[in-house]
Amino acid sequence: MTDSQYAWPAHDSADVVILGAGPAGLVLGNLLLRAGIDCAILERSGLECVRTRARAGFLAANTVRILARHGLDEGLRRYGQEHRVCEFRTEGGRFRLDYGRLGSKDPHTVYPQHELVADLLTQFLDAGGRIRFDTEAVAVSDADGPAPSVTVREADGRTGRWRARYVAACDGRHGAGRRSVPPGAVRHYRRDHGVSWLGLLAEAPPSLDAVGYALHPHGYAGHMARSAEITRYYLQCARGTRADTWSEDRVWDALDLRMRAAEYGPLSRGRLVQRAVVDLASDVLEPLRHGALFLVGDAAALISPSAAKGANLAVLEAEILAQGLTAALREGDPTALDAYSDRCLAHIWRAQEFSHWMIGLLHETPAPQGAPPFQERLRRSRISALRDSPTQQDWFAENYVGI
């Protein structure tokens, strides 16, 4: 598949113009196409970049159910791996939670986000979907007026305009959708968690048969399988760290130390194929709508990756929006569309709350100079409760896999 193979003639209007071909935009596009709604996706990047950008991997059971409900799950059914156990390694020893048997008794399905995106893209194109790669949305105009439109810039610098009845901003945190909401039209809630992670992708098989969370005086370390050959690791690092200042040896030595490899077994080392610093931050816009413009996925709310919720929320919101747009455009019934923002915000805030709780579980918070480390004692107590209390474990499992 090449960009030019899918170079569509230059249509300049659609009932629904979707900005961005990530999980949110592609699920929405596929569902609208199946419902017979005229839609088009405008994507800033090229086809190859969209298909290969490695990010999330842990899909919640509800995400799998949504994709299955619409026949979008072939790849993940075939290649996804079920995960149901996580292991905590702390100064007090290690313990495992079989979360697939706790709470709502659901597993995760591990399936790399770029594989999911590639599947969704293939299905969209095979069904005749219109997508313009290398086309950046610059601004959404007149979203609350009679003639909403999207100004675009093509890769060669040419600009153009798409007319739409509705615009779905699935273009992430820094996209044109968010930028186009006039100041004062929505409230912007934000939180910088003050913690940074070095996110790593290693060409190495997973080192344990569970998600690994290591709590260590040097900082948090995380282990998450992506496939039989690829593992994602995280290392808490100082704010302002540059990813390239960590050599491969330094990374693996720090992972060994924090994961307590000397005690619990060595890590399988391999080449690091991706490293990026992530500052843990969250934000939510309210409401998720301005006139004909709807915010979806990371454009609606950014959620720290501490609890692996972002892609899952994106898929859920896309399904809710598809239902609303379909009812509005096919039956002239705006009820579901009007409920979109409130329905999604209930899920978003619950996910934010759990992700915030996870940040408190996984990180030492430095105490003010000379003060006894009160927060640190709270963190240890939180871990003990999780290790010892079946009720706490059920609550954890329900929120960990739930969305």
Q: List the interface residues with ligand RFL, window 294-313 (CB under 6 A).
A: 297-298, 305, 308-312
Q: Which residue has the tokens 């026949």?
A: 71
Name which of 346 and 367 has its Cβ closer to ligand RFL.
346
Structure tokens given for 154: 């093509």
- Residues 165 and 146: their CA atoms lie apart, in Å, by 9
Name which of 176 and 401 has its Cβ closer to ligand RFL.
176
Residue type, 232: R
Q: List the interface residues with ligand RFL, window 192-211 (CB under 6 A).
A: 199
CB of 390 to ligand RFL, least distance (A): 26
Query: Exposure of 158 by Cβ count < 10 A (0-12 exposed, 13-18 middle, 19+ buried)?
Result: exposed
Q: List the interface residues with ligand RFL, window 253-292 (CB under 6 A).
A: 278
My answer on whether omega of the bond before 112 falls inside 30° of 0, hence cis, is no
Q: In a 3-state reduction of DSSP, which class is residue 91?
A: coil
Could you say whether residue 25 binds ligand RFL (CB under 6 A)?
yes
CB of 91 to ligand RFL, least distance (A): 26
CA angle (120, 318, 338) in 5-degree steps: 155
Catalogue the active-site residues. 83, 213, 305, 309, 400
CB of 222 to ligand RFL, least distance (A): 10
Task: Give CA separation, 366 vs 282, 318, 369, 379, 382, in Å.
Answer: 20, 39, 9, 12, 17
Binds ligand RFL (CB under 6 A): choice among 55, 84, 347, 356:
55
CB of 110 to ligand RFL, least distance (A): 8
Could you say whether residue 64 binds ligand RFL (CB under 6 A)?
no
DSSP state of 266: P
Could you say whether residue 23 binds ligand RFL (CB under 6 A)?
yes
Could you say whether residue 226 binds ligand RFL (CB under 6 A)?
no
- Residues 158 and 20: their CA atoms lie apart, in Å, by 19
CB half-sphere exposure, 200, CA atoms < 13 A? 29
Order the strands of the 108-110 sheet from edge to edge: 58-59, 108-110, 81-83
State the number of binding residues for ligand RFL (CB under 6 A): 35
Could you say whether residue 44 binds ligand RFL (CB under 6 A)?
yes
CB of 207 to ligand RFL, least distance (A): 18
Could you say whether residue 172 binds ligand RFL (CB under 6 A)?
yes
Residues in contact with ligand RFL by CB under 6 A are: 19-25, 42-45, 50, 55-58, 113, 136-137, 170-172, 175-176, 199, 278, 297-298, 305, 308-312, 314
